[in-house]
Structure 1
Amino acid sequence: MVYGAVVLAAIHFGELLFLLALVAGAITAYYELWRLFARERYALSLPGGIVLVLTFLIVHEVWAQVRLRGLDLTFEAGVFFSIVVGSVIALSIIVGGALALARRDLPYALLSSGLTILGAIYCGWLLGYLIDVASFGVIAAGPHVDPTSIEGYVLQRSGLFLAILPTWANDVAAYGVGAAFGRRKLLPHVSPGKTVEGTLGGLVASIVVAVALVSLLDFPTWVGVGVGLIVGIVGPLGDLVESAIKRAAAAKDSGGLLPGHGGMLDRLDSLIFIAPALAIFFELALRFS
């Protein structure tokens, strides 16, 4: 919730601050991931991973700008994006290979290089979909909406509102319902505190908030239901994956950046999975609605 507030505050002051908030969040998350495994022989590469994280974010931003200019349907734009994505994948393999060759313990070096690439994808590529989610709000608002009006302001940021506010509702409801009525553990070997009842409560809350938001935005109700289902199902999955990573590293929190709230990765775990799922959903909604 803390990082979501930072993102919404940043986008209020302009796209540049929004991008800087994403860059800071992604790099900090990768740094925490690197620290989690720093004690292991297959520790991630910090400089190599950060380079990949930044590259992934740049690709998302370039494609978002292509979309905002209405060029994404052209053949040339499709070829360009394919080349860029292919180049990033090639860069990842090259960087991973170079990192592996630089170490003498080759089996662990290969594992470390693979984890570096996966870590950069996790913290950079997946989180970068928030850029795409933000651009969908601008596209949905259309060129004729006055961005200085309240309606235009909200519409242009509707993608982020639909990503962050239902996520907040999901987190709060899951905690509250789980604490009050939680009896059955969801996956105790991964996250002992997460319950089936809490997860269902979070799912209901995310749907309710998402439907309420789309009604205010004058979007179809099914969009709100879809957003709520994605947040309520994919969000807890992201939380569980991050819990599994911490358990593998024998750590309670990803870091101590936010006293009482853990690290940056603890704040981003749900959004890292929600962002790409919502980006795909919004793409389909725009194409077929």
Structure 2
Amino acid sequence: MDRFHSPSAFFFYGLFAFLLLASLVARLLIRSGRVRGEMAGNLADRIRAWWVMIGVLALIFTLGAGAITLFFALCSMAALREFATITHTRRDDHDGLAIAFYVVLPLQYLLVYFEVPVFAALLIPVYCFLLLPVVTVLKGEVQGFLTRVSETQWALMVCVYCVSHIPAILTLDIPGYRYSAFTLVAWLILVVQASDVLQYVWGKALGRHLLAPRVSPSKTVEGLVGGVLSASALGVALAPFTPFAWWQAGLVALTVTTFGFLGGLIMSAIKRDRGVKDWGTLVQGHGGILDRLDSLVFSAPVFLHILAWGWL
């Protein structure tokens, strides 16, 4: 099927149409004076960043599975770097970090790309969990050992293992499903990212009750409920492009958006613990790569497992 006429391509056409509408509305709000000052600048930065990110994703999707896998491998490398900058690493930990960056990360994505699911599933949570502390302990520095080792393990799990589940979806061959797995990746990204945006919109519009003020002061109960339900409705509307019945699409969307919210909340807790607002500054208006991936970190493994257990 021509990639420019595939269902996943139409997902991106819809996203570009939505971004065009959002850009026009934002410009009208700024010109009318309803949004001004720092909020106006933040809104403009966010919309420009979304244009760039969606454009890059659309280009990557036209290039095939190899390009998508490489793209998320590079995202993992950038995210791992962001995570490592806020950890309590010492000079004695550099060998372990080098192994994480230059051995474990590329090996994980090679296992995904060449469809070796057993080793891809076990490499980081089993073998790296057991062997990376050995590299550190042989240096002989015991002060803060548990904290330092666990931070490296967490970094690999979050930034590499969980993110690698996104291109791993491309390896699935669902019986009777008439579209390619590219469409499922697009569906996941669209629904989860829409939930993030809609939680922000609903929170600004109706938010009254703070959900976890010490972790994320901007998250409200109303924003969470409105965003998750709205994004789940979007997942139902797109059910014809998935192997799900409409009610199954609703349940799956509700599940992945809920886990996406939890991922964002946990990543916010780590940032607060380290006293930083954003993971980085790579994406203007959005912080770092991890600030964009935080919801997908938790939702992608769950989505892959739902597909593997229920539809293969």
Q: TM-score, normalised by structure 1?
A: 0.80
Of residues 123, 134, 138 in structure 1, which corresponds to 2:170?
134
Deviation at 1:94, TM superposition (A): 1.8
CA offsets, 1:201-260, max 9 Å, x none? 111111111111113457411331122112321111010011011111110000111121
- Residue 275 of structure 1 deviates from its aligned partner by 0.2
Contact 1:182-1:198 at 8 Å conserved across structures: yes
- What are the within-5 Å matches in structure 2 for residues 115-264 of structure 1? 115-136=151-172, 138-139=173-174, 152=179, 155-217=180-242, 219-264=244-289
2-structure distance, mates of 1:18, 1:132: 10
Give the 3 Å change call, closer, same or farther, for CA 39–114 of structure 1 in structure 2. Answer: closer
Cα distance in 1 for residues equivalent to 2:253 and 2:124 = 35
| Structure 1, unpaired ranges of 5+ | 68-80, 146-151
Whether contact under 8 Å (1:257, 1:263) holds in the other structure is: yes
* Superposition deviation, residue 97 in structure 1: 1.4
Q: Deviation digits for residues 131-184 of structure 1, max 9, x if unmatched? A: 222333x53565xx6xxxxxx5xx442211221111122112111110011000
In the alignment, what sits opposite 2:73? 23
Match of 1:99 in 2: 136
User: What secondary structure, in the 3-state scheme, does the structure 2 residue paired with 1:193 have?
Assistant: strand
Are the structure 2 counterparts of residues 46 and 90 from structure 1 closer, same or farther at C-alpha, using a change threshold of 3 Å? closer
The one-letter code sitting in structure 1 at the alignment partner of 2:249 is G
Tell me, yes or no, if the aligned pair for 1:42 and 1:108 is still in contact at 8 Å.
Answer: no
Aligned to 2:60: 10
CA contact (8 A) 2:198 2:227 kept: yes
Q: Distance in 2 between matches of 1:118 and 1:179?
A: 32
Structure 1 window deviating more from structure 2 (203-212 vs 44-53): it is: 44-53
Q: Contact 2:162/2:301 (CA < 8 Å) preserved in 1? A: yes
Count of residue pairs the alignment pairs up: 260
SS in 2 for 1:107: coil
Q: Secondary structure at the match of 1:139?
A: coil
What's the CA shift for 1:87?
A: 8.7
1:284 CA drift (Å)? 2.4
Instruction: Tell me the distance in 1 between the aligned counterparts of 2:303 and 2:190.
Output: 13
* Structure 2 Cα separation of the partners of residues 205 and 84 of structure 1: 32
| 1:284 aligns to 2:309 (yes or no) | yes
Is the 2:88–2:148 contact (alpha carbons within 8 Å) kept by the matching residues of 1? no
CA distance in 2, matches of 1:90, 1:217: 35
**Residue deviations 1:33-58 (CA, integer Å, cap 9, x gap):** 01122578997853132133333333
Structure 1 window deviating more from structure 2 (226-235 vs 182-191): it is 226-235
Q: Does structure 2 conserve the Cα–Cα contact (< 8 Å) formed by 1:59 and 1:84? A: no
User: Among the aligned pairs, what percent are the same residue?
Assistant: 28
TM-score, normalization by structure 2: 0.74
Q: Cα 1:283–1:83, aligned 2, differ >3 Å: closer, same or farther?
A: closer
Cα RMSD for the two superposed structures: 2.8
Match of 2:36 in 1: none
Secondary structure of 1:32's aligned partner = helix
Query: 1:16 deviation in Å?
Result: 1.5
1:34 corresponds to 2:84: yes
Question: Does the 8 A contact of 2:215 with 2:269 survive in 1?
Answer: yes
* Letter matched to residue 47 of structure 1: A
